[in-house]
Amino acid sequence: MPVQALFKPFHLGALELPTRVVMAPMTRSFSPGGVPNSKVIEYYRRRAAAGVGLIITEGTTVGHIASNGYPNVPQFFGDAPLAGWKKVVDAVHAEGGKIVPQLWHVGSVRRIGTEPDASVPGYGPSEKLKDGQVVVHGMTKQDIQDVIAAFAQAAKDAQSIGMDGVEIHGAHGYLVDQFFWEGSNQRTDEYGGNLANRSRFAIELIQAVRAAVGEGFPIIFRFSQWKQQDYTARLVQTPEALGEFLKPLSDAGVDIFHCSTRRFWEPEFEGSELNLAGWTRKLTGKPTITVGSVGLDGEFLQFMVNTDKVAQPASLENLLERLNKEEFDLVAVGRALLVDPDWALKVREGREQDILPFSREALMTLV
């Protein structure tokens, strides 16, 4: 199967990508003090230089006291982090690539003791107590407005430093997703109850981001059925329910849906070969990004524990077939790109035998 489909340009309004290869957002924790440094700049520059059309940065925290959950994660607020990101943007653009930040709030995943202010608990849709102590602060309506404002400000800042759009992280059991999910959203006000109400926070957030950046600045929205806390979770069980869930998000201002799955080749619903990105494109008419173990023979959960397993490069035939059929528009590559900055170039030149395998050790360095 010829690989050309991956290397055709993609156009959406003012967004022009040289290839269909997207770098998936992957938390790397190499930004002490929340500031992307020269190693981070070089990390992204190398991928753009080797033919990645769109880089979605690692998750970057918005300007809210509880947005961060991990050490050395980059911020997307404050003078020094934004100046660092501006250098990343300039380096990627100099190589002909495009880049968007993934805007992130971890929500109730945050633990007391986490930087920058160790006294701040996680924030989530519903309060959680442990031994009489608040470990998750149940968000008030004012808190909701504060977080929405932080996302809108981050999007505006992204636009002002020359980013090519933004991605809102609405997946994997973090804050936006916690509102979607009945297990974590027990609210009794207009932000809780049925899925339409549980989507209200995300809809208002997307609308605020759109208002902040105006028309024509791309908004990508990442969502997932599975959660970090539950890999078998399903937000919706049928294509009809998926359509009902996605339409209000689409109408609120999403330009591209980033459909997170663990294995891109798995059908989303019985009776159809379409994956989550395929269904999303069919139901919304919006472009979609597929993701999930692209280019590797082992999916990522095997590497979340100490292991000496190695994921070898895998055939792209199934992927290319689906891309040629326009099941989805763009392909996000995660670990294969994390370990090998030249992955796209090697695929393009037919040098699959030179692609580096992925092992857990790759997470320890930034190459």
Check pLDDT > 70 for residue 116.
Answer: yes
Q: How far is CA 202 from CA 34, 95, 266, 291, 339, in A?
A: 25, 34, 27, 22, 33
Instruction: pLDDT band for 226, please (50, 70, 90 cuts).
Output: confident
pTM: 0.95
Give me the pLDDT at residue 305, please: 46
Check pLDDT > 70 for residue 69.
Answer: yes
Across 304-321, average pLDDT: 74
Question: Maximum CA pair distance of the chain?
Answer: 61
Q: What residues are labeled active site?
A: 174
Neighbours of 132 (CB within 10 A): 5
Cα–Cα dist 303/309, whole Å: 7
Across 297-321, average pLDDT: 69
Across 8-34, average pLDDT: 96
Give me the pLDDT at residue 304, please: 47
Across 51-60, average pLDDT: 98
Of 73-77, 284-288, 316-320, minimum mean pLDDT range: 316-320
In which domain, by residue range, is 221 found?
Answer: 3-364
Give me the pLDDT at residue 227, please: 72
pLDDT tens string 208-223: 999 999 999 999 999 9
pLDDT tens string 143-166: 999 999 999 999 999 999 999 999
Cα–Cα dist 68/75, whole Å: 8
Across 66-70, average pLDDT: 97
User: What is the CATH number for 271?
Assistant: 3.20.20.70
Q: What is the total count of domains within the chain?
A: 1
